Amino acid sequence: MPDFNVRSDSVNVEQIMEQLRARVREKRGVDYTEQQIRELAAVKLEKFLDPRGVRSDLLDQFRNTQPGSRPNYAFEEETLFETHRAPIRWIRRLLRPVLKLLFNPNPLIHALHIQAQLNTMNAERDGLYFEVTHNLVIETTRLGIEVKNLTMRLESLASRLEFNERRARALESVVAYRTAPHGAPVAAAIPAVAAPPPSQPTMGARESQSPPGTAPEGPGQRSRRRRRRRGRRGGAPAVATMGASTSAGPTSPPRSGHIGDEPAEAANGASGELSAAPNNEPTGARGNTAESVGHAIAAEAHPSEPRSEGGLNPPDVDEQ
């Protein structure tokens, strides 16, 4: 993962932000802003309303039926008799009773008034339909993006889980404790690899312990259990994942003098065999093994995290 390029005394915020954004993209995929979501939604809406795609005149229909675009009129009681000329208005008012002698204009006025109201309502409803469709598309887009994000998050969690499993197995393989005959727990020996290459860490060695009072298992029993476990895990052995040599041959049962029921493949760096190691193995060797595993874990856990050597952490830190 990218690191900051801020080792000098001057920082460039723009550059740091680019690096951080690259890291965000790597971790979470693309994070859309609200504005981008809206733009995406608008694009989809246009596509959805594309005359070639859906219906030849759907887009035009929607546009034409926007509130205000369709002609309408307000029809009130006085509309028929309105005029901006005051004398004519006066004359009409004067002659209105005469008109009403000839026919009754009230039903006409009433019907037109209702029609005007219906027109207004329809115009509003069309606008509402358009808005609902628009909002639906926005929500669908947002949900699609959310699903994508959740999928990525799930993948991230799955990889974390897998890593934790590997880490637990690796830790088990490095340090083990057993109960001394008089009851006090003592550190068990880190088994030495039969013939490890000089450059390889001895992290593969592992020894487990059987519960007190249980008899040591036979080689065949242990081998069967190992096969079962490998089947359950369905993945590569820990050493392979942790970067140790994978040149191990077919697993062979542990030699005599070995206690515990842990399989050998996780600990078997080179030969796939565990050798009996004395309990009083020098702590230096154990320490080295643990350290190299720690490094491997750290590197895998947070590959983007700064390392103490030449990474993010500068030697001098001023608290303002």
Partner 1 sequence: MKLAVVVQRYGQTVNGGAELHARYIAEHLAKHAEVEVLTTCATDYVTWRNALPPGIEAVNGVPVRRFRVKHERDPHLFARRSDRVFEHRHSLGDELDWVDAEGPNSPALIDHLSARASAYDYCLFFSYRYWVSYYGARAAARRAILVPTAERDAAIGLSMFHPVFRGVRALMYNSHEERAMIEGVSGNQDVPGVVVGIGSDVPKNPQPARFRQKYSIGGPFAIYVGRIDRNKGCTELFEFFQGYVRDAPGRLTLVLIGNSLLPIPENPRIRHLGFLDDADKFDAMAAADLLIMPSYFESLSMVALEAWALGRPVLANGRCDVLKGQCLRSNAGLYYETYGEFLETLRAIEQNRWLSGTLGRNGLRFFRDNYDWPVIERKYLDMLGRLSRDSTPRTMLGLPGPLERRRQNRPPAEEVVAALPTGPSLVRERDDLPLSDGGPGLRARRPS
Region near partner 1 per CB under 8 A, out of 93-101, 167-175, 186-194, 310-318: 310-318
Q: How many residues bind partner 1 (CB under 8 A)?
A: 28
**29-38 contacts, C-beta under 8 A, 24 or more apart:** 29/148, 29/149, 29/152, 31/149, 32/145, 37/138, 37/141, 37/142, 37/145, 38/138
- Contact between 142 and partner 1 by CB under 8 A: the answer reads no
Amino acid at 122: N
Question: Distance between CA atoms of 143 and 42, rounded to whole angstroms?
Answer: 15
Q: How far is the CB of 35 from partner 1 (least distance, A)?
A: 8
Binds partner 1 by CB under 8 A, chosen from 18, 31, 39, 50 = 31
Question: Distance between CA atoms of 254 and 273, rounded to whole angstroms?
Answer: 6
**H/E element, 186:** strand 185-187
DSSP 3-state assignment of 24? helix
DSSP 3-state assignment of 109? helix
Amino acid at 132: V
Q: How far is the CB of 301 from partner 1 (least distance, A)?
A: 11
Q: What angle do CA 42, 43, 49 make, to 5 degrees?
A: 90
Region near partner 1 per CB under 8 A, out of 29-37, 99-107, 187-195, 274-282: 29-37
Region near partner 1 per CB under 8 A, out of 14-22, 120-128, 179-187, 190-198: 14-22
- Contact between 10 and partner 1 by CB under 8 A: the answer reads yes
Tell me, residue by residue from 33 to 72, as one string, x for binding to partner 1 by CB under 8 A and - for no binding: x---------------------------------------
Binds partner 1 by CB under 8 A, chosen from 18, 21, 76, 125 = 21
Site residues for partner 1 per CB under 8 A? 4, 6, 9-14, 16-17, 20-21, 23-24, 27-28, 31-33, 306, 312-314, 316-320
